[in-house]
A and B are shown apart, each in its own frame.
Chain A
Amino acid sequence: MAQVVTCLDQPSSYRDNRSEIDRETERRLLAQSSTLYVGNLSFYTTEAQMYELFSTCARPDEGGGIKRIIMGLDRHQKILPTFRSNPGYKEGRQFGRGKSGGQVRDEFRQEYDSGRGGWGHQRLEEEKRRQEQERLRSQIQFDTYAAVGGLGMAGADVPRGEGAGADRQKRGRSEDEDIERREDEKRLRGERDDE
């Protein structure tokens, strides 16, 4: 099913320059490999977390599963931890490194995630954004799942949004929570439902 859309499970364009094997062999080996490289992890990512997430990709009923996780700092530069499952790597390669001996980066995270080290490299602005994010968090909690439609629980103490969000506060309990009701809301606003 690849003609109308690019498959995402293609090998990375990264190539190990120090590797002596030719491209064809490399491609063949990659096709057989069950080792996965995951880069750009947080310093705080644990093996147990990796195990939990990547278990969902394994096929245990066909003899698959996570055989091994190799995670550690770069031997020389101690930069970013890397991850591998399953054997099939060469000694030394557990310390993932790119062209400059560091890390290859092919995708960037755009969103803020304190669990993954905030904004990444933009340290200077991090704290400022973190505060903004904290403010947004309570906002998001309200907005994301409750912005349109019933909360299902009348009178629950919902974090108050600011500005535009504030007028979406209380609304009636409805048996059918599924109705899109931007319009209805305006009418229901202000009506407390204490049943």
Chain B
Amino acid sequence: MSYQNGFNPAQMMGFGNPYAAAFGSPGGYGGYGSPGRGGGRGRGRDDRRGGRGGGRGGGGPRDSRPPIPENSNARMRKMVLKLGDDDEYHPVDDPHRLSRVLKRAWREGSAGVCEGFRISVTQQPHKHSYLVVLLLSLSRRNSPTTEPNEGDEAQVGDKRKADDSNDEDVEYGREVLEDLSRALRGWVEGREWQNVRLGLQFFSLLVPAGLVTSSSLLGVYKSLLAVLEEVGGGGDRAERAVRAVGEGLIRSGRVLYENHPEEVENLVSAIEGYIIGRRNEVKSLVDPFSPVSLDGQEHTPTPDTLDNFLSALHALRADSFALPHSLPRYWESATLSDGTIQSDPYELSPISMPPEMYAVDSNELDKGEGRIGNIKLFGDDVVPPPETLEGWVLRSLVLDIINIYEVNRKECATLLLSFRKFLPSNTFKPVNPPTEEDEDKVLSTWSSESLIISTLLNSLLTLPRSTYKSIYYGSVITELCKISPNTVAPPVGRAVRKIFSYLGSGGSEGALDVECQNRVAVWFSTHLSNFGFQWMWKEWIPDLDLPLSYPKRAFMRRVTELEVRLAYYDRILDTLPEPMKAEGAGVISSEPPEPFWPYEKPDHPLHTEAKELLQLFRSKTSPSDIRTHIETLPNSNSGPGESISEDIRKMVFETLLHLGSRSFSHFLNATERYLDLLRYLTSESSSRQLLLESVWTYWKHSHQLKLISVDKYLQYGILEGLDIVEYLFESTDSDEVEEGDGWTDGWKFEILKMTIEKHVGRTQSIKNRLKVIEREDEMARARRAAELLEKGGDVGEGTGEEDMEEDTRAEGSKAFNDAQTSLDIQSTRLEKILIATIKQFVTSLLPINSASSNQGLKGVLTLLNSGEEGLWSVRARLGWYKEFVRLWSPHLIPLAEPIENSVFSLRSSTDENDEIDRRAVELVKGIWNSALEL
């Protein structure tokens, strides 16, 4: 029994591939397109589009159009790209056949072959070994001493033989190699780090294959690692060089070590020095596990990506740099046939690193390329750990596929499920139960699906940010589950259970970071929404004994809350077992996310007034009339000229929310229509707090609508960021004290994050506008100068130009100055919000007036001192404080001075003898200090 009755993945994926035949294209080359073909699945879609990116232009990709006839370059490029897609692919014979086809048509299509290699090397890393064999075949030619019609070419016709001998002087392999090494230099210059690494990985495989000299590859390694010698350490480029060279050593190390043992050792030492030499503070900020401890010594930092990498390199060195078993080495079987000779190995030229770049927003994506979270989700016998050589190699490959195929989650999922076919056969445990024949063999216990899920979830949980949007990783998991529910869903379930065990004091590693916890909840609720919201809630029933604010409890609440947002209350309630539905169980909100309008009740003191106002709103009475109406209400103020009373204001706010309660659009319409009224009623900071209070009351059962309301009030300029920061920290709803407040449940940080992001976004979009204006100004200046030159007035040329320049500058600067002014305003606002937030966090974690009492973090530590855990809401707040610092450190670091002065200088430990107080301060300050180290 499986999902198959549900969605029939076979039906979904089974679009026939009418283009499969096209691949075995005209001149049929020795059965390369074998009859068993028809796999290639969605790849057919590529073909239908008529070779995107082929520079062939011509119309949009309308399906109705006849396919554009292919030219040789495109055809041969496609042959290279499709190498190995065939299910019955033979890793030695097929490249050999293809190379003969390519050689024959070399004159018309060599550019296509080179392009195919460039694309395949950087976009199909799982095929590297296949490409090596192809390149090896291309680099071989008939020995001049033997007759060309000998050897295994007997079936080839006379004409072709003649062609071959005519082209004897063409060095096919060399052309590809030259093109690729040019491309590699281009990638380095363009800082396309992923391409650089993948390119170098490929070149490194060519050394054991005998296609590239080991000394020249060593030269490339050394030239890249030279960046480590730079003053200042080389910045992000150092990490990129270390990654690329280290990956290269994994692939080429054995041969290199045989020829140049000392130099290889030196390279490893240089990499080691760089990785070990990094400061620990930087790592602690992105450590997914950071338990609160009394002495801070118990926790061994979680190794990060580079630590794992170094361990893998150590394992490599310990094994005399032998190639990992998980990397196929088909070239070893591609022996020279009689009568052929191998071209001389190619000499790579050294590559120099481009200078460090300081522009922050350039190539943001490739910065920190290849970093991934390190949360252990499976046993070592199921997913090889990333600190082992095999584990590292396999995870890197999966990660590369995930990153490269981001443009198409469906293709990504399909490829991930089939990528094991590109690896040596015993890499993963067999798909089918072992037969008797297998009994003698030692079979692998690794699960490719578990490795995929582990890599996807760890990508999602990368701190501070995942490479791509969170939704991408979840979408791939959804696709995987649709294609192969029976093999993918179980690892998904196990991973979630494992993560659940990390919540709270759970695992030996300690509590999982609260941001990771939240990302899992967001992903998991969306995931469940795609699969009927079915989950084994029952197994978490015993955890209901834990305190309500305990992270496991908070996680359950967060998941159900997010599920309700994607569906509706009753549906989610239905999925829970009885004990979790019970009154006070605290798994799902006790009420559906309905609005709460207290004036409905006839006994409410403002019942009549509210009803009347609602009627006026509904009849679209103008804002000014409403204003007059409110001001003339009895009890609206204590006297003429006095401000309107709080009760009336709240009543107006809540009634306006009621007017727009039906949907997001209703809310926007109501807000837009009565914008003036809202502005009038919220001119002071205190009345804006009142507005927030009204939102909190009206949407007491829906954190989502709190978020949406606040978001839009911010957008319309009714609220300011500072109002929200203040309200979030000041408000403690009486019923949530120690049983899951907005910080343990994550929604308060959600609102805070939205607020700060909105302000960051405002400054960012003005910055972008400034850039556009600058460019336009520059173009205008250039145009003027050109016009002037055309007029050819060489009389008084100098003065004329100066005049012009002044003119344009004045013209351009109007827009420029305006933008600059609003940038200054927005930047100041953002700075104020950031400082206010950090101040609020620090004050709530280290209450100033409570040096003796046990509030805040000190309370947590005092409890811990007596062997107890508790005050989970304070711990959650500490986690969010860390996330705040981590997320906005680029904006916070320039504010270090005011933050030191206005926040931390006020809260140094008051009593030197108070060990616990000192530790509390140390914890909070430590997080800030690690940000400063970045």
Contact = CB atoms under 8 A, between A and B. Distances in A.
Interface stretch (A56-64, A96-104, A120-128): A56-64
Given A68-B665, A110-B11, A145 B536 contact: yes
B6 A133 contact: yes
B839 interface: no
Q: Which 9 A-B pairs have the closest CB atoms?
A: A145-B493, A111-B7, A63-B765, A153-B539, A178-B379, A63-B761, A47-B664, A60-B757, A178-B378
Interface string A1-36: 111111111100100000000010001000000000
A132 B407 contact: no
Interface string A102-135: 0000000011111100000000000000001100
A180 B433 CA distance: 12
Interface residues of B, number: 96
Interface of B: 1-3, 5-8, 11-12, 42, 45-46, 49, 52-53, 60-63, 81, 119-120, 123-124, 377-379, 381-383, 404-411, 429, 433, 445, 447, 450, 469-471, 482, 485-486, 489-490, 492-494, 496-498, 501, 522, 526, 529, 531-532, 534-536, 538-542, 562, 565-568, 571, 577, 663-665, 668, 704-705, 708, 711, 715, 754, 757-758, 760-762, 764-765, 768
A91 interface: no
Identify whether the interface residues of B are mostly helix, strand, loop, or mixed. Answer: helix
A57 B387 CA distance: 33
B665 A10 contact: no
B893 to A, nearest CB: 17
A146 interface: yes
Interface residues of A, number: 73
B81 A6 contact: no
Contacts of B379: 176, 178-179
Contacts of B529: 115
B1 A5 contact: no
30 contacts: A1-B404, A4-B46, A4-B119, A4-B124, A6-B46, A9-B407, A47-B663, A49-B566, A56-B522, A61-B757, A61-B764, A62-B765, A63-B761, A63-B764, A63-B765, A65-B715, A68-B668, A70-B665, A110-B7, A140-B3, A144-B493, A145-B535, A152-B501, A153-B540, A157-B538, A178-B382, A179-B379, A179-B381, A180-B382, A180-B450
A108 to B, nearest CB: 9
Contact of B566 (A2, A52, A165): A52
A92 B924 CA distance: 55
A60 B754 contact: yes
Contact of A161 (B1, B46, B81): B1
A77 B49 CA distance: 34
A109 to B, nearest CB: 9
B404 A2 contact: no
Given A6-B45, A141-B535, A163 B1 contact: yes
Contacts of A48: 565, 663-664, 704-705, 708
Contacts of B489: 143-145, 147
Given A3-B53, A50-B664, 18 more contacts: A4-B123, A6-B407, A27-B60, A46-B663, A51-B708, A61-B761, A61-B764, A62-B765, A136-B6, A141-B534, A144-B3, A144-B485, A144-B489, A153-B538, A156-B536, A178-B377, A178-B494, A180-B429
Between B6, B498, B665, the greatest number of chain A beta carbons within 10 A of the residue's beta carbon is seen for B6
A143 B708 CA distance: 38
A158 interface: yes
A177 B375 CA distance: 15
Between A64, A145, A147, the greatest number of chain B beta carbons within 10 A of the residue's beta carbon is seen for A145
